[in-house]
Amino acid sequence: MKSIMGIIFICVGIVIGIAFTLISINRWNVVSDSERVTATIVEVHFPTGNPTVIVEYEVGGNTITTQLSWFSSGMRVGQSVELLVSRQDPYVFVDGGITGWLMPVIFFSMAGIFCGIGVVLLVFEERARYLRNWLLHNGTPVWAIVQEINTDRNYHGSNRPATFLVATYKHMQFRSAPLDNNVLMNMNLGEYVKVLIHPDNANRYIFDFFNESNLQPLEAPAPPHPKVAPEWGR
């Protein structure tokens, strides 16, 4: 699940980054050959759709009247607006104020945040997958007694209730990940289930539902000398 969410976050970040890269390129093309002018707002309309702001400014002795492509709630008739106007086409301009650069910065930051979250989710998923595989091959086996089979309707905001096993071994209690019906149909209260525990940290464990039999003695055979876990396994 984390890997899917990670990919989604990265894709959203990339889309945002590409979109505003294209916008920034267009802006830079205007800025690179422009002159700064002060325009005056002459009309402000508030129709049912987007507000309309009409401005006037002078370029090369000509008075240009045109519409802004952006709007803020503080704009009023008679207010001045700084513009960067293309020398090639006086009707092509961008916002010459700090907000003209602020929006690309904000959205590029958003793109970076989305990509960063996606990468973190993928790394956590990879670490979890690595730990599961390591425990399957190197975990210390114990046979725990199934004490509870319960559901949690609030698990990760799922639309369906998730079902978990709670099992105990000596003073330790283990809670499984959400289970599917194929596993649950073979599980009953009081039965034994195999749990593989990290040799250096009993809080890291996985349930092994794919052993030959669930009905095993409480005391597992003496495990072989535990292997030292690499950094990602700790």
| CB within 8 Å of 168: residues ≥ 6 apart | 144, 145, 147, 174
The pTM score is: 0.52
In Å, how far from its chain's centre is CA 20? 19
**Tokens standing for residue 211:** 């052993």
Mapped onto helix, strand or coil, the DSSP state of residue 23 is helix
The CA distances from residue 33 to 7, 60, 72, 111, 132, in Å, are 39, 15, 26, 28, 58
Topology (CATH) of 140-233? OB fold (Dihydrolipoamide Acetyltransferase, E2P) (2.40.50)
Alpha helices (H) in the chain, listed in sequence order? 2-31, 98-138, 181-184
- Is 154 exposed, middle or buried, given 0-12, 13-18 or 19+ CB atoms closer than 10 A? exposed
Helix, strand and coil content of the chain, in percent to the nearest 5, comes to 35, 30, 35
| CB within 8 Å of 78: residues ≥ 6 apart | 40, 41
Rg (CA), the chain: 31
What ranges do the domains of the chain cover?
A: 2-112, 140-233
Mind listing the pLDDT tens digit of every residue in the chain (234 residues)?
A: 667 888 888 888 888 888 777 777 777 776 777 788 888 888 887 766 677 888 888 888 888 888 887 777 777 888 888 888 888 888 888 777 666 566 777 777 888 888 898 888 888 888 888 888 888 888 888 888 888 887 766 665 455 667 888 899 888 899 888 776 666 666 778 888 888 988 888 888 888 876 654 445 545 444 444 444 444 444
Mapped onto helix, strand or coil, the DSSP state of residue 160 is coil
Q: Which residue has the tokens 């105990």?
A: 168
As a whole number of angstroms, the distance between CA 20 and CA 114 comes to: 14
Q: Which residue has the tokens 């890291």?
A: 204
As a whole number of angstroms, the distance between CA 41 and CA 80 comes to: 6
What's the pLDDT score for residue 49?
64
The continuous run of DSSP H or E covering 157 comes out as none
Short-list 24, 45, 47, 42, CA closest to 95: 24
As a whole number of angstroms, the distance between CA 133 and CA 24 comes to: 45
As a whole number of angstroms, the distance between CA 223 and CA 141 comes to: 7
Question: Phi and psi dihedrals of 195, rounded to 5?
Answer: -125, 130
